Amino acid sequence: MKRRILTYRKYIDSILESDEEQDWNYIKQEHLTQVSFFQHERLIHLIVTVTFAVLELMTVCAFVIAGALDSSSALPLGVLALVILILLIPYIKHYYLLENEVQKMYEQYDNIVDRIKK
């Protein structure tokens, strides 16, 4: 997905930078379609990222409580918290990429609309 979104955004940037005559209405419609696909992907990754963050918080809380009661039962929870954290970091990075690229696509859309108005 990372490669796809970056490639698509650069493709639209190249169209916007070119001086060639374009069918801006078609480009606008295609861009809206692609943005909606990426928005859907962004929503799914937001749900997954928030779920993993909540799981991480719950596991850390359970680790702290278990450590206060009996330190031997806290070790598996500590390992689980570490594993979830290791999974959470790439989810956050990917969501960050999706969010920023979709925001840039909104700006591209505005530029396309400006071209249509001219």
Sequence spans of domains, the chain: 24-117
* Residues 27/15, Cβ–Cβ less than 8 Å: yes
Residues of the chain with pLDDT under 50: none
Give the integer Cα–Cα distance in Å for 96 and 80.
24
pLDDT of residue 73: 78
pLDDT of residue 118: 77
Q: How far apart are the two ends of the chain, measured CA to CA in Å?
A: 34
